[in-house]
């Protein structure tokens, strides 16, 4: 609609055409005899410059100052050649209608607002070029994600948001409970009904699910159940982590893409992740592959002084990942979750991380432990409650197969594709420690 300016002729082939546009006023310049209004309808990045003088029907609303930045308007006009240097065409308006006026307090004025400021206005920031563009890139990547997996015969599985299991075993879950009126019989607001730890402990056996329930940290375990029935599946949905990391790469609520491949090993898993990243257009060549041991060696040989020492057996820190992706080349796996398949050396697991410059870990994946005795031993080692995983263990009891999968943080992908510095700026409504507004 507004995008006619982006064609090869920059709009010149629309000269003389009548256009009707709905949109929001981005900027407004009133001169003695003529007013310039830039409007945008959200369909693209370019604004349409509308030129309005006293001949236009509805001009009185412009003259009286009723139409301001942020207002929604409807215009009808003819495409003419622009005298300005910034665009080839503009709209000579013959009718303008104010649809919704904008209070002068509208916070997104022409001067460039900082990203920090815009985070406090998350309900309005999509009206800026940057956030409008990011929303469209996000949409395109989501579409491309489904396209890639659908074209390759994967079945999309909806994994649950509420679950009793902790897939990553890292204890970073948010708890879900019903609202119980606390000291009062009736609660005036939901806030009054939230159980207070000292006041009234939750009796889980009496609670909604009859036991503690949490927001999921990963849909993987559920995806595995479907992979061991339908072969290749993927999940794509929100996941939650109560990790208190105030960084530019962590959200408390983020979307994850989790393919799970049956009759597959770690190499198939890596090939799938690479093909996916190439398909969505963020990688054009193959990833360099190095083992964890090689990564540790490389880091120990580095001249650079690290804050955290590099030691075989411990997780790599972001400074190490940064060194590997930005100064050396590529990545290494982080430390082993209970479900990762043990390698023949008895010390390492068949896991991988894919690291990219500027972001660090984009993908974490592994071949899963498909051997019942190994998995049980591993759960025991980690002192995890085997009973709670009875259904997961059943998959190893009834027709177990080698299988592998990975998780890709969708916001990190959008960050990588757009170059946005902070992950809070690539999801419409970021959830981070201390912040769940909007």
| Of residues 252-281, those binding ligand 4AD (CB under 6 A) | 254, 256, 258
Handedness of CA 363, 246, 115, 1 (dihedral sign): positive
Q: Could you tell me which stretch among 13-21, 38-46, 126-134, 361-369 binds Mg ion (CB under 5 A)?
A: 361-369
What span, in angstroms and rounded, lies between the C-alpha atoms of 9 and 338? Answer: 59
How far is the C-alpha of 171 from the C-alpha of 167, rounded, in Å?
9
Q: Look up residue 242 and give its two tokens.
A: 């109560």
Nearest residue (CB) to ligand 4AD, 50 versus 362: 362
316 part of the interface to ligand 4AD, by CB under 6 A: no
Is 364 one of the binding residues for ligand 4AD (CB under 6 A)?
yes
Using the rule CB under 5 A, is 405 a contact of Mg ion?
no
What residues contact 195, with CB distance under 8 A and at least 6 apart? 177, 180, 182, 201, 202
CB of 379 to ligand 4AD, least distance (A): 16
Give yes or no for residue 226 binding ligand 4AD (CB under 6 A).
Answer: no
| Beta strand segments in 12-116, E | 18-30, 34-40, 48-53, 72-81, 89-100
364 binds Mg ion, rule: CB under 5 A: yes
Within 119-178, the residues that bind ligand 4AD by CB under 6 A are 167-168
Instruction: Note whether 251 binds ligand 4AD by CB under 6 A.
Output: yes
From the list 26, 336, 378, 412, which residue makes contact with ligand 4AD (rule: CB under 6 A)? 412
Question: What's the per-residue H, E or C state across 79-102?
Answer: EEECCCCCCCEEEEEEEEEEEECC
Query: Residue 101 or 146: which CB sits closer to ligand 4AD?
Result: 146
Site size for ligand 4AD (CB under 6 A): 24
331 contact, one of ligand 4AD, Mg ion, none, CB 5-8 Å limit per kind:
none
Q: Which is nearer to ligand 4AD, 59 or 236 (CB)?
A: 236
Does position 362 bind ligand 4AD by CB under 6 A? yes
Residue of 246, 249, 176 lying closest to 432 (CA atoms): 246
Distance set, CA 6 to CA 9, 44, 89 (Å): 8, 9, 11
d(CA 132, CA 136): 6
Is residue 346 a contact partner of residue 177, using CB atoms and an 8 Å limit?
A: no
* 220 belongs to the binding site for ligand 4AD (CB under 6 A): yes
d(CA 277, CA 288): 14
Using an 8 Å Cβ cutoff, are 223 and 239 in contact? Answer: no
Q: Give the residue, chosen from 241, 341, 378, 403, that forms a contact with ligand 4AD under the rule CB under 6 A.
A: 241
251 interacts with, out of ligand 4AD, Mg ion, none, CB within 5 to 8 A per kind: ligand 4AD
**Residue 331 contacts ligand 4AD per CB under 6 A:** no
Say how far apart CA 34 and CA 43 lie, in whole Å: 27
Q: Shortest distance, CB of residue 315 to Mg ion, whole angstroms?
A: 9
Check residue 430 for interaction with ligand 4AD (CB under 6 A).
Answer: no
> Are 219 and 159 contacting, i.e. CB atoms less than 8 angstroms apart?
yes
Give the residues lining the site for ligand 4AD (CB under 6 A): 167-168, 218, 220, 241, 243, 250-251, 254, 256, 258, 361-366, 405-409, 411-412
């Amino acid at each position: 609609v507004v995008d006619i300016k982006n064609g090869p002729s920059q709009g010149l082939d629309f000269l003389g055409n009548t256009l009707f546009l709905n949109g929001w006023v981005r900027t407004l310049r009133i001169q003695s005899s003529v007013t310039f209004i830039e409007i945008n309808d959200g369909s693209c990045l370019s604004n349409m410059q509308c030129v309005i003088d006293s001949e236009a029907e509805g001009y009185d609303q412009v003259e009286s100052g009723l139409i301001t930045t942020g207002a929604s308007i409807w215009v009808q006009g003819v495409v003419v050649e622009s005298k300005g240097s910034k665009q080839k065409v503009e709209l000579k308006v013959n009718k303008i209608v104010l649809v919704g006026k904008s209070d002068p307090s509208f916070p997104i004025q022409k001067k460039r607002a900082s990203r920090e400021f815009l985070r406090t206005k998350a309900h309005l920031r999509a009206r800026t070029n940057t956030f409008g563009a990011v929303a469209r890139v996000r949409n395109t990547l989501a579409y491309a994600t489904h396209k890639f997996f659908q074209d390759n015969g994967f079945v999309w599985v909806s994994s649950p948001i509420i679950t009793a299991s902790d897939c990553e075993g890292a204890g970073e879950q948010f708890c879900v409970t019903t609202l119980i009126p606390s000291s009062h019989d009736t609660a005036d607001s939901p806030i009054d009904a939230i159980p207070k730890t000292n006041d009234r402990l939750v009796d889980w056996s009496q609670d909604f699910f009859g036991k503690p329930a949490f927001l999921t940290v990963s849909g993987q375990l559920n995806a595995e159940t479907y992979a061991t029935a339908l072969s290749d599946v993927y999940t794509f949905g929100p996941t939650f982590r109560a990790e208190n990391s105030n960084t530019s790469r962590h959200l408390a609520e983020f979307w994850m893409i989790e393919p799970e491949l049956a009759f597959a090993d770690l190499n198939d898993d890596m090939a799938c992740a690479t093909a996916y990243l190439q398909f969505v257009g963020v990688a054009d060549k193959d990833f360099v592959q190095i083992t964890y041991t090689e990564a540790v060696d490389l880091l120990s040989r580095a001249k650079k002084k690290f804050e955290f020492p590099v030691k075989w057996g411990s997780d790599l820190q972001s400074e190490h990942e940064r060194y590997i992706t930005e100064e050396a080349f590529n990545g290494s796996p982080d430390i082993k979750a209970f479900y990762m398949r043990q390698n023949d050396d008895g010390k390492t697991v068949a896991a991988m991380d894919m690291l990219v410059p500027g972001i660090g870990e984009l993908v974490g994946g592994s071949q899963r432990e498909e051997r019942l005795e190994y998995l049980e031993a591993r759960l025991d080692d980690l002192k995890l409650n085997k009973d709670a995983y009875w259904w997961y263990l059943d998959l190893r009891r009834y027709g177990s197969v080698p299988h592998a999968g990975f998780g890709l943080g969708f916001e990190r992908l959008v960050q990588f594709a757009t170059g946005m510095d902070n992950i809070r700026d690539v999801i419409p409504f970021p959830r981070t420690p201390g912040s769940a507004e909007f």
